[in-house]
């Protein structure tokens, strides 16, 4: 009798295990650029432009110097944290500013390396991060982290090591896999040792083309429209187009905020 009961309970447990889906296998949440990005930019200390006479990409110090600079990794990390750990409830009543500050603190101290889970931090009174950050810009700028965190990001060690063709191929595929699994990935884009670019992008889509892979991303420096990070499979190279802070060209890229050493 006891043996029969044991096997019956074991069978029920096995059936229940087969019926449930692990959290990691759930379809990823879709990143919506119009909703899941901050309304403000990580601003630039330097103003860049291409000199008409020499054709060179040159820069000069911004005047006046903006008050929110060098936060690209902070903004990218926070965008991932809000995407993964926050749930906006526009039908809930708004709460006092100090309550929002506590909710932002909970998001900021959440683990950006942990994938989507069941427990969410509820943000009442707002439909999305875009509208929330529009109303609470100074709170988010002050509470999402200081600029020095962009310099101390633990994955920076990787940029000083050589990137082989195999490394670049794996980095590109890792970004594709992370976006498919989690809906989002933060990429460190860099040209080392020149450091003409040393920046973070929030990648949220990838499309394979005859030439390679086009990654669509949110750029903390340019919150008005998505940007494209390209990977050339034949050349085994990432590239990024010219914009208001980078002269364009070949770079390296790899995912950060996803493993203990990145």
User: pLDDT tens across 75-126, in order?
Assistant: 999 999 999 999 999 999 999 999 999 999 999 999 999 876 668 999 999 9
Residue 199 lies in a domain: yes
pLDDT of 148-199, one tens digit each?
Answer: 999 999 999 999 999 999 999 999 999 999 999 999 999 999 999 999 999 9
User: If pLDDT is split at 50, 70 and 90, which confidence band does 60 have?
Assistant: confident
Looking at per-residue confidence, does 167 or 58 come out higher?
Answer: 167
Between vectors from CA 257 to CA 254 and to CA 262, what angle results, nearest 5°? 65
Q: Judge whether residue 260 has pLDDT over 50.
A: yes
pLDDT of residue 47: 80
170/114 same-domain check: no
Per-residue tokens: 73: 């990794």
From the number of C-beta atoms within 10 Å of its C-beta (0-12, 13-18, 19+), residue 23 rates as exposed
174/239 same-domain check: yes
Domain enclosing residue 94, as ranges? 46-150
pLDDT of residue 11: 33
As a whole number of angstroms, the distance between CA 225 and CA 4 comes to: 64
pLDDT of residue 118: 63
| Half-sphere exposure at residue 248, Cβ-oriented, CA atoms within 13 angstroms | 11
Percentage of the residues of the chain whose pLDDT score is greater than 90: 77
Residue 248 lies in a domain: yes
Q: Which of 224, 152, 155 is nearest to 189 (CA)?
A: 155
Which residues have CB under 8 Å from 114's CB, separation 6+? 84
Residue 163 lies in a domain: yes
User: If pLDDT is split at 50, 70 and 90, which confidence band does 8 have?
Assistant: very low
Residue 6 lies in a domain: no
pTM here is 0.86
Residue 4 lies in a domain: no
Residue 1 lies in a domain: no
| Number of domains forming the structure of the chain | 2
CB 258 within 8 A of CB 113: yes
> For the stretch 143-177, what's the b/e string if a residue is b when 16 or more beta carbons lie within 10 angstroms of its beta carbon?
bbbeeeebeebebbebbeeebeeeebeebbeebbe
Residue 28 lies in a domain: no
Lowest mean pLDDT, pick from 37-51, 163-177, 188-202, 225-239: 37-51
168, containing H or E segment: helix 165-182
CB 85 within 8 A of CB 120: yes
Q: Average pLDDT for residues 20-38, to the nearest whole number?
A: 72
As a whole number of angstroms, the distance between CA 178 and CA 15 comes to: 30
pLDDT of residue 241: 96
Which of residues 126, 150, 174 is at a domain's end? Answer: 150
**Mean per-residue pLDDT of the chain:** 88
Which of residues 128, 150, 172 is at a domain's end? Answer: 150
Q: Which of 198, 183, 180 is nearest to 254 (CA)?
A: 198
| Residue 149 CA: distances (Å) to CA of 70, 72, 106 | 9, 10, 17
Q: Judge whether residue 200 has pLDDT over 60.
A: yes
Q: Judge whether residue 22 has pLDDT over 70.
A: no
Which of residues 123, 150, 177 is at a domain's end? Answer: 150
Check whether the bond before 230 is cis (ω within 30° of 0). no
134/166 same-domain check: no
pLDDT of residue 27: 61
Percentage of the residues of the chain whose pLDDT score is greater than 70: 88
Looking at per-residue confidence, does 102 or 51 come out higher?
Answer: 102
145/176 same-domain check: no
161/142 same-domain check: no
As a whole number of angstroms, the distance between CA 250 and CA 191 comes to: 8
Backbone phi and psi for residue 110, each to the nearest 5 degrees, phi listed first: -75, 160
pLDDT of residue 26: 54
Q: Average pLDDT for residues 193-222, to the nearest whole number?
A: 96
As a whole number of angstroms, the distance between CA 24 and CA 34 comes to: 26
| Half-sphere exposure at residue 167, Cβ-oriented, CA atoms within 13 angstroms | 10
Looking at per-residue confidence, does 12 or 92 come out higher?
Answer: 92
User: If pLDDT is split at 50, 70 and 90, which confidence band does 20 have?
Assistant: very low
């Amino acid at each position: 009798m006891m043996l029969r009961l044991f096997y019956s309970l074991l069978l029920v447990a096995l059936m229940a295990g087969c019926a449930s889906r692990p959290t990691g296998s759930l379809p990823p949440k879709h990143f919506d650029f119009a909703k899941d990005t901050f309304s403000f930019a990580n601003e630039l200390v330097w103003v860049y432009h291409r000199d008409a006479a020499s054709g060179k990409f040159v820069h000069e110090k911004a005047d006046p110097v903006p008050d929110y600079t060098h936060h690209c990794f902070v903004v990218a990390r926070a965008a991932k944290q809000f995407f993964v750990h926050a749930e906006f409830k526009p039908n809930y009543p708004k709460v006092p500013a100090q309550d929002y500050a506590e909710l932002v603190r909970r998001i900021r101290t959440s683990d950006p390396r942990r994938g989507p889970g069941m427990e969410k931090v509820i943000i009442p009174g707002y439909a999305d991060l875009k509208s929330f950050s529009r109303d609470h810009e100074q709170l988010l700028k002050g509470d999402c982290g200081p600029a020095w965190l962009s310099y101390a990001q633990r994955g920076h060690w990787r940029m000083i090591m050589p990137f082989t063709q195999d490394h670049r191929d794996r980095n590109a595929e890792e970004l594709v896999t992370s976006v498919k699994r989690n809906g989002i990935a933060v990429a460190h884009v860099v040209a080392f040792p020149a450091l003409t670019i040393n920046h973070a992008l929030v990648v949220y889509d990838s499309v394979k083309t005859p030439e390679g892979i086009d990654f669509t991303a949110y750029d903390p420096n340019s919150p008005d429209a998505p940007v494209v990070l390209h990977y050339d499979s034949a050349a085994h190279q990432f590239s990024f187009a010219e914009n208001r802070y980078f002269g364009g060209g070949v770079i390296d890229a790899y995912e950060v905020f996803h493993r203990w050493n990145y």
